[in-house]
Amino acid sequence: DSSVKLPLRNLDYHPPRKIRVALVLSGGGARGLAHIGVLKALEEAGISFDLIVGTSIGSIVGGFYAAGFSPEEIRRIIKEVDWKSIFNDETRRTHLFVSQKSTPRRHLIQFRMDGLLPVIPSSISQGQRVVQILYNRLVRANFQAANDFDNLRIPFRAVATDLISGRKVVLKKGDLAEAINASSAFPLLLAPVEIDSLLLVDGGITDNLPVDVALQEGADVVIAVDATSTLRSRDEIDAPWELADQVTTIMMFKPTAENRRLADIVITPDLGEYKGGDFQAVDTLIARGYQAAQEKMDSIRQIIREAEQKEGIADRDLGWVASVKCVGSASLPSRVNLDFLHRRSGRRLTRRDVINDLRTLYQTGYFQNVEALVRRGSDTLQLVYRMEPFPPIRQVTFRHHNILPDSIFSRIRRRLVGQPLNIKTLTAEIEELQNRLIRRGYALAQVREIRYHPESRELEIELDEGFIADIRIVGNRVTRDFVILREFPLKIGDVFQASLATRGIENIYSTNLFHRVLLNLEQEDGRNVVVIKVKERKYMVTRLGAHYSFERRTEGFMEILQDNLLGWATQMSLFGKVGEFSKRVEASFFTVRLLNTLLTARASFYYDERRDRFYRDFTRLKDYTTIRRGGRFMVGQHIGRLGLISLELRIEDVNAVSPDPRFPIREDFRLRTITLRSVVDKRDRLPFPEKGIYNRWYWETGSQFLLGSEVPYTKVFLGLEGYYPLTRRLNYHPFLKVGTADLTLPFTEFFFVGGEEDFPGLYEREQFGRQVVQAGLEVRYRLPLNLPIEAYLTTGYSLLGMWERPDEKLAASDLIHSIWGSLAFNSLLGPVKLTYARLPDYRNRIHFSLGFDF
């Protein structure tokens, strides 16, 4: 048999029939990682399969193996997965545009609305992270399913459960990653997978050890591996999904026992102490599976041998053979040894002996056809083997679109030219050629046709590099097609590239418009069709948030957001904040991209009132109030997903009043400014970044002549900072901030510094001026605590200089130093931070904050 189905023309090759050996892999969560060890042992023993059937984790391991991954490659993939974040579908920050990064999460609670009713999630995760992990690997698999799992290296079946009908569903066509996802979508943890009219979840609910499926698919021998979970103890049933797991385990006991009886042999690894969630014990679980398979190896060989003896036409005695003659073997290379045939002379043979000889000849790969004739004389028996070898090859030519380098074909020419064609060699070389094409990113590349020209003895191989004939979108009832297609870097007529397709899925999902984004590759009449499948969210959103700190006390906000206005990925929101020291109402419009460009735009209209403490020489005076009414209008150009250059117009009426005669501020003016801004933001996460830079600068002016501003001024700022990991848990954060402005800058537009995040030890906005220099270094360590939330210890030093006039000289004694240490937690309520800071010669201070800033 051959693992690659060769599209031969003018050449005949029909693999000899042999018994079908099926491998059935059960569910069981992490316990199913033992399947990898079983596969390793069976592969080392030379036992091959004609079918793999898997449920849940069995479909993951079995699907990858069927697609061409070795047991060691599957082990590495499993170990690379961050199982702690497998249910976190949040878009990675590095995949967002800077305009999206500029509005980080600030809500504590968010619920989407269907009309006037909130939408209750059906599960913890929609499964996008799972699908992405599967797709990223399987799109580069050595063999592509092309919508039919019989096209894999080993035919494959995934078992799932339809929630609508309650029936078992056997998936044999479609997208391999989607089928595996459906088979392993455990209720409450992962959302059901919609395929056609079916709503599919974990196959273990209806058939955790699908031996019956293998028999229905025509298997002669079934080897089953049972890693079914044991029941949880009373104190292990707390969370809803743990209760669901217990119920599912109870339900599967009876059907699993029945399927065990149907199997020819059952391998049951000793996994007693391990639970379905023990994904950290990968190597131990694999070793247990390997050991269990080794113990059953002799029995497996015996069962296969017995099945082979029963297969085929009934045996009968032919008698004594006086002579053996081979016809058609003259052109064979010397390495083909036919002595075993001649040794049949003078021996008594059966019909099975002859059939086995023919099978042995055919499996050398040199013959299009072989047959045996038994000639009976008066008292003698002659056995004649007639062989029809494949023709010799003088030349190998390739037909393609000349986008592939000729060097990629050199090996196959070297191995085939000047030799009689060997179908096994040709199969291996075609397989290796496809692998090389896939490794170079041509995931849809395939051999269309292999044609032999007898007159010239030329082997012509036609290649399809994988050109995209069509791109279709399914599931977007609200979102316009162009919103999705502009994020997908591949276009009709392009050669399909795995890396670009993967990036396209990430880009589309990063719009935050969809629960799930899938990519199906289909073939229609020999044409490659890319199908982008999306599952839309509900786009009306309500958000609630709260924050507490020693300084600002308690603040809260509510936001009502339309996430996808007119299907153009435009946001419209109404935001309201209230607290003891601040109030704000804002209506805004925002679009990440204008049509198909990389331009972004934002408009907002607001009323903002805040009360701040005033300090002079580290002594608090009376509070002052600033009120702003107006709007901002911004247009910017994204620089990839790393940077943004923008131009902003601000129109504000500003009023600032202090009741303290020692701070006699009373400002009331119309402000019209233009700001040119550049931002580069590569931070990997917020809060508590671990790596990445954050650099920004802006130039701002208020012009009386151009804008009619009552206060003309010019202001420039530069901020440079970065996060750099030293170890897996330790990183450091250097930063520098410099700002300058002319003497016309009004007080409300000064540079302000202070607060736990900005300069520990100072109160919020305690220091201010028209000129500022600030530099420092922070070191943060993630504590190795066995907690459901992350905990950090941080220490740092910062230096600050502020003054009002550019011509002033800043003395060393004017600089303020801060040394601080903090304990912080990244909790479900947002960051929790307690900081102790010391300002030498001035004060010591404790800061505390809870929740996201807004």
Tell me the pLDDT tens digit for each residue of 348-377.
Answer: 888 888 888 888 888 888 988 889 998 887
Res 822 pLDDT > 80 = yes
pLDDT value of position 91: 87
Peptide bond into 687 cis (omega under 30): yes
Determine the structural domain holding residue 322 and report its residue range: 313-389
480 in a structural domain: yes
pLDDT at 685 over 90: yes
Q: How confident is the model at residue 311 (pLDDT cuts 50, 70, 90)?
A: low
Please say whether the beta carbons of 37 and 285 come within 8 A: yes
Same domain, 601 and 580: yes
- Domain for residue 120, yes or no? no
Q: What is the CATH number of the domain that holds 595?
A: 2.40.160.50
Q: Among 772, 766, 749, which Cα is nearest to 667's?
A: 749
Task: Mark whether 623 is an active-site residue.
Answer: no
As given in the structure block, the two tokens for residue 384 are 């004649």
Q: Quick: pLDDT tens for 251-310.
A: 677 788 899 999 999 999 999 888 888 898 999 999 999 999 999 999 999 999 888 877
* Mean pLDDT, rounded, for 32-41: 97
What is the structure's pLDDT at 231?
Answer: 65
The pLDDT > 90 percentage for the chain reads 63
Assigned domain for 759 exists: yes
> Which residue is catalytic, options 50, 162, 175, 202?
202
CA angle 289, 294, 298 (to 5 degrees): 140
Instruction: State what percent of residues in the chain have pLDDT above 70.
Output: 95
pLDDT in tens, 719-768: 999 999 999 999 999 999 999 999 999 999 999 999 999 999 999 999 99
Q: If 0-12 CB within 10 Å is exposed, 13-18 middle and 19+ buried, where does residue 787 land?
A: exposed
Last residue in a domain, options 464, 484, 500: 464
- In whole numbers, what is the pLDDT of the chain averaged over residues? 91
Which pLDDT belongs to residue 524?
86
Token couple for 69: 């991954």
pLDDT digits (tens, 9 = 90+) for 636-653: 999 999 999 999 999 999
Strand-pairing partners, residue 697, are: 678, 718
Q: Do both 422 and 561 map to the same domain?
A: no
pLDDT band at 3 (very low <50, low <70, confident <90, very high): very low
Q: At 1, is the pLDDT very low, low, confident or very high (cuts 50, 70, 90)?
A: very low
pLDDT at 48 over 70: yes
Torsion of CA 148, 152, 156, 160, to 10 degrees: -50
Query: Of 308, 336, 369, which residue constitutes the final position of a domain?
Result: 308
Which parts of 550-642 are beta strand (E)? Answer: 553-565, 570-579, 582-591, 599-612, 615-616, 619-620, 624-639
DSSP 8-class letter at 270: -
What is the pTM (predicted TM-score) of this model?
Answer: 0.86
- The pLDDT of 239-250, averaged and rounded, is 68
Instruction: Clarify whether residues 756 and 615 are in a common domain.
Output: yes
Per-residue burial over 615-635, b if 16 or more Cβ lie within 10 Å, else e, is beeeeeeeebebbbebebebe
454 and 517 part of one domain: no
699 and 822 assigned to the same domain: yes
Nearest to 140 by CA among 64, 60, 59, 78: 64
C-alpha 271/C-alpha 275 separation (Å) is: 8
DSSP string, 145-179: -TTBGGGSSS-EEEEEEETTT--EEEE-BS-HHHH
Kindly state whether residues 434 and 553 are assigned to the same domain.
no
One-letter amino acid of 527: R
**pLDDT mean over 785-794:** 91
Rounded CA-CA distance 641/511 in Å is: 12
Does the pLDDT at position 593 exceed 90?
yes
CB of 182 closer than 8 Å to CB of 195: yes
- Res. 488 pLDDT band, cuts 50 70 90: very high
User: Residue 231 is encoded by which pair of tokens?
Assistant: 């029941």
- E strand residue ranges, 168-242: 168-171, 193-195, 198-202, 221-225
pLDDT digits (tens, 9 = 90+) for 568-587: 999 999 999 999 999 999 99
Asked if the structure places residue 686 within a domain, the reply is: yes
**On the CB side of 40, how many CA atoms lie within 13 Å of its CA?**
19
Query: Based on the domain organization, do 22 and 45 belong to the same domain?
Result: yes
Same structural domain for residues 352 and 407? no
| Chain-centroid distance, C-alpha 453 | 46
CATH number for the domain spanning 338: value is: 3.10.20.310
Q: Is the pLDDT of residue 139 over 50?
A: yes
**What pLDDT, on the 0 to 100 scale, is given for residue 102?**
83
Same domain, 595 and 529: no
What is the rounded (10 degree) CA torsion for 370, 373, 374, 376?
A: -160
How would residue 2 be classed by pLDDT, with cut points 50, 70 and 90?
very low
Q: How far apart are CA 779 and CA 725, in angstroms?
A: 10
651 and 529 within one domain: no
Domain boundary among 389, 417, 436: 389
Helix%, strand%, coil% for the chain, nearest 5: 25, 40, 35
| Mean pLDDT value of segment 218-235 | 85
Which residue type sits at 142?
N
- Give the Å distances, CA to CA, from 854 to 105, 144, 653, 759: 9, 48, 22, 18
Q: Which two tokens stand for residue 157?
A: 């079946």
CA distance 835 to 818: 12
Residue 6 lies in a domain: no
The domain spanning residue 71 has which CATH number?
A: 3.40.1090.10
**Residues 804, 726 share a domain:** yes
Predicted confidence at residue 141, as pLDDT, reads: 61
Q: Work out how many domains the chain is built from and give that number.
A: 5
Residue 502 in tokens: 């993967």
The yes-or-no answer on residue 56 being catalytic is yes
CB-CB contact of 58 with 163 (8 Å): no
Say yes or no: 422 and 280 in one domain.
no
Secondary structure of residue 292 in the 3-state scheme: helix
Residue 429 located in a structural domain: yes
Kindly state the average pLDDT of the residues 122-137. 85
Average pLDDT over residues 119-132: 85
Question: Is 117 inside a domain boundary?
Answer: no
In angstroms, the CA 315 to CA 379 distance is 22
Place of tokens 């000289």: 809
Q: In this structure, is residue 100 part of a structural domain? A: no
